[in-house]
Structure 1
Amino acid sequence: MRRATITFAGPDAGVVYESLRPEAGRDVPKARVSLRAARGRVTLTIDADDTSALRAAVNSYLRWADIAARVRREVTS
C-alpha cells in the first residue's frame, strides 16, 4: 500500500475543499481518497494499491485542485 498526503492552505483552501469533496467520496480504481478540512487547511490523503495508481490519483486530484483555485482567483479578480 502506498500513501500520499497533500495539504492545501491559504485563501484557496475552502474552494479546493468544496471542489474535491464530491470526488473524494467516489471509488477510484485501486485507490481510496479522504479529505479533511480544519483551521483553514485541507488535507487530502490518497491510499493506493501500487505506485502507478497512486501517481494517477495524485495527478488527477492536483489538477482538479489547481483548476478550482485558478477559477476562484479569476472570478474574484
Structure 2
Amino acid sequence: MPRATLRLATPHAQAVWGALCPEVGREIPRTRVRMDRDDGGIVLRVEASDLGALRAALNSYLRWIRISEEIGNMVGEQHG
C-alpha cells in the first residue's frame, strides 16, 4: 500500500490545521488520511490503495496547504 508523510513547519500552522481538518474527515475513495500536530507543525499521513489515488490525494492536500499559506501571508502582511 503506497504511503506518504508530509511534515509542515509554518508560522500559519493553526490556520492550515483549521483549513485541512474538514478535508481529513472526508471520505476519499481508496485513500486514508491522518493529521497530527508535531512541535508546532503539522504531520499529514496519506495511505492509498494505489499510486494514482495517492498522487490525487497529495495533489489536493498540497493545493489546500499552499492556498492556506498564501492567505496567511496576505493577512500577516496587512497586520504587520
TM-score by length of 2: 0.91
**What residue is the counterpart of 1:49 in the other structure?**
49
Identity of aligned residues (%): 43
Question: Which 4+ stretches in 1 moved above 6 angstroms?
Answer: none
CA RMSD of aligned residues (A): 0.9
**What residue is the counterpart of 1:18 in the other structure?**
18
**What residue is the counterpart of 2:9 in the other structure?**
9
Q: Which stretches in structure 1 are left out of the alignment for 5+ residues?
A: none
- Alignment deviations for residues 42-75 of structure 1 (CA, whole Å, 9 cap, x no partner): 0000000000000000000000000001001101
1:75 paired to 2:62: no
TM-score by length of 1: 0.94
1:63 paired to 2:27: no
Q: Distance in 2 between matches of 1:70 and 1:10?
A: 11
Query: Which stretch has the larger CA shift, 5-14 or 55-64?
Result: 5-14
Following superposition, the deviation at residue 39 of structure 1 comes to: 2.0
Structure (1 or 2) with the larger CA radius of gyration: 2
